[in-house]
Amino acid sequence: MKRKIRSLSSSVISSGNKEPFSKTVKEFFDSKNCSKPRFFMTWISSLKSFGERESFAIESLFKFHPNSCLVIVSKTMDSNEGLNRVLKPFLKMGLSVLAVSPDYDYVFKNTPAENWFNLLKMGKVNPGEIPLGQNLSNLLRLALLYKYGGVYIDTDMIFVKSFSKLKNVIGAQTIDLETGQWSRLNNAVLVFDKGHPLVLEFIKEFASTFDGSKWGHNGPYLVSRVVSRVLYSSSVFKNGEDKKRFNFSILGPPAFYPVDWSRIESLFSSPNDEFQYKWVLGKLKHIRTKSFVVHLWNRQSKKLKIEKGSIIDYIMKDSCVFSCNSLLISSL
């Protein structure tokens, strides 16, 4: 059993860095004189699966943050093919984007993730049935924010507004209609300062409760569990520590998740009658007013076509940089 776990883990956790991760990222940030916030993405899949929609997520990010820096932590993206096929259009425009292979040992060092990762490498952690890379991505985003601070964001987002005024926030995915309180948070968008204590609690929770066979346990459900304890339980604190030191806010679903995954198809469809047309205009106004990004829920929407006159069609035209006149927008 241990041999099987070790073999599976080593195929995912090796980085193959040409340059030390720490040096590469530091030189990138220093040389670009990035304006805040700094952004991080991770990509654990093949380059073949990084398509037009994911590229547009980057494009829309720079539409509203032209002077910010984006680091994409990805072994497959950190390659000549990644440079030529994905990054070159952004670099030609002078935008600051870097792809770098992950160095888990460095990023996890001096955090509760360090011991967990060492046990994983020794074959003493069962990776479970969910792909290990997916769970490592959940942990990697936390460790990156804890070490550097900034914004982590998934690649199936479209930006509609600047993040420049956001500080130490996490978004609610759903709310309880009776109480008006959040019922589930999500980790697809995280905005936190370097060394933030809530992010440290997230990392502790991952290392102490890891389960590689329960979908969401190490991601959305994890951040929901921890925030619930921080807000409503004294078990997190020692010696009467003040909860104020956590200093974070929870934004409602409109901020990052204006449409739930179960209704995402409605954003891709064009209106068929006057009633639907009015709904599209109303929803579009609400998103433009209340949202910072729109989560596309790729798992549910990746096969959907963007119809002309749909909400996504309008939003992409608002958020494009260099594909505004391209037919790609209507065919994504």
* Banded model confidence at residue 324, pLDDT cuts 50, 70, 90: confident
Report d(CA 22, CA 194) in Å as an integer: 15
Beta-carbon contacts of residue 331 (< 8 Å; ≥ 6 apart): 52, 305, 306
Contact 5, 125 (CB under 8 A): yes
In the chain, pLDDT over 70 holds for what percent of residues?
A: 89
Helix, strand, or coil (residue 60)? helix
Q: Indicate if the pLDDT at residue 274 is higher than 80.
A: yes
Q: In the prediction, which pLDDT does 180 show?
A: 87
Q: What is the mean pLDDT of residues 50-59?
A: 94
pLDDT-wise least confident of 64-73, 94-103, 316-325: 316-325
User: Does residue 34 have a pLDDT over 90?
Assistant: no
Is a pLDDT exceeding 70 seen at residue 17? Answer: no
pTM of the model: 0.91
Q: Is the pLDDT of residue 327 over 80?
A: no
CA 94 to chain centre: 23
Q: Which of helix, strand or coil describes residue 174?
A: strand
Please check the confidence at residue 330 and state whether its pLDDT lies above 70: no
* Token output for 129: 């049935």
The pLDDT tens digits of the residues spanning 138-155 come to: 999 999 999 999 999 999
Q: How many CA atoms lie within 13 A of 43 on its CB side?
A: 28
CB atoms within 10 A of CB 205: 19
The count of C-alpha atoms lying within 13 angstroms of the C-alpha of 217, restricted to the half-sphere facing its C-beta, is 14
Q: Are 230 and 198 in contact (CB under 8 A)?
A: yes
More confident residue, 300 or 6: 300
Question: What is the bridge-based pairing of β-strands 39-42 and 69-73?
Answer: parallel
The answer to whether 92 and 101 have CB atoms below 8 angstroms apart is: no
Phi, psi of 173, rounded to the nearest 5 degrees? -85, -40
The residue whose two tokens read 């709310």 is 175
**pLDDT of amino acid 14:** 60
Cβ-Cβ contacts under 8 Å for 108 (sequence gap 6 or more): 114, 116, 117, 139, 143
| pLDDT value of residue 3 | 42
For each of the domains in the chain, give its residue range(s) and CATH number, in order of start.
1-255 (3.90.550)
Measured distance CA(65)–CA(77) in Å, rounded: 22
Q: What is the mean pLDDT of the chain?
A: 90
How far apart, in Å, do the first and last CA atoms of the chain sit?
43
- Give the whole-angstrom CA distance, residue 224 versus residue 170: 10
Structure confidence at residue 186 (pLDDT)? 97
> Is the pLDDT at 301 greater than 60, yes or no?
yes
Cα 307 to Cα 312: distance, rounded to the nearest angstrom: 8
Give pLDDT, residue 15: 55
pLDDT in tens, 194-253: 999 999 999 999 999 999 999 999 999 999 999 999 988 755 555 445 566 788 999 999
Q: Bigger pLDDT: 16 or 198?
A: 198
* pLDDT at 241 (0 to 100): 53
Mean pLDDT value of segment 58-79: 96
* pLDDT band at residue 326 under the 50/70/90 scheme: low
- Asked if residue 322 has pLDDT above 90, the reply is no
How many helices (H) and strands (E) are present in the chain, helices listed first?
16, 9
